Amino acid sequence: MNSKRVITGFAAAAMLLGFSSAAFADHPRYSRGAYDYAQVISATPIIRYVTVKQPVRECWEDVENYSVYHAPRGRAGSTLLGAVIGGVIGHQFGSGRGNDAATVAGSMIGAAIGSESGRKRYGSGYTTEHSRPVRRCETRYRSHREERIDGYDVLYRYKGQKYRTRMPYDPGRKLKVRVDIRPAG
């Protein structure tokens, strides 16, 4: 009984396979075609223009200006010099204990004058201006147009008939064509 089932299954499969082959025979994807060569009459490139941006690094020498701040020098020298000069002048006046008082007063006045003179002379510091060479660079983009070939419009002749197609490459003088022969009915 088991062998009858196996034989019946094989017979059914063979029938289905036969029907499916007949059904697909008319479909272009599954039909067998022959190949031949057609004469290429012309292959015209399809040209597209594109803009290409190219980075270009440009460098140059430049001059950079900068300032240097100089802090004020101490006014101690001016104050001390003023005190000495003031003391000498004050010592010229008075005698005895008055002479000592005049010397001290002259030193104090001279120190004040020297300190003020130093403040005016050196102020709150000063700046000096300088310059130095500096290399600067910048990236710019230069544009130019280029031709790009997007494919070819091909005109060819097969069995006296002219045909057109578009191809991604230039086929040369001959073009391989597929010829399908099927029953009309």
Residue 39 has pLDDT above 60, yes or no: yes
Q: Rounded distance, CA 63 to CA 172, Å? A: 62
Confidence tier at 64 by pLDDT (50, 70, 90)? very high
Which residues sit opposite 126 in a β-bridge? 70
Largest CA distance in the chain: 159
The structure's pTM equals: 0.41
- 95's tokens: 């005698």
Q: Rounded distance, CA 148 to CA 143, Å? A: 15
Predicted pLDDT at 19: 52
Mean pLDDT across the stretch 149-169? 96
Please give the helix or strand (H or E) that residue 161 lies within, else none.
strand 161-167
Predicted pLDDT at 157: 97
DSSP state at residue 126: E
Residue pLDDT, tens place only, 97-121:
777 777 777 777 777 777 777 666 6
Do 107 and 90 form a contact (C-beta atoms < 8 A)?
yes
Determine whether 107 is exposed, middle or buried from the number of CB atoms within 10 Å of its CB (0-12, 13-18, 19+): buried
Residue that wins the pLDDT comparison between 16 and 139: 139
Residue 44 has pLDDT above 80, yes or no: yes
Residue that wins the pLDDT comparison between 11 and 80: 80
DSSP string spanning 70-102? EPPPPSHHHHHHHHHHHHHHHHTS--THHHHHH
DSSP state at residue 27: S
Q: Rounded distance, CA 40 to CA 44, Å? A: 11
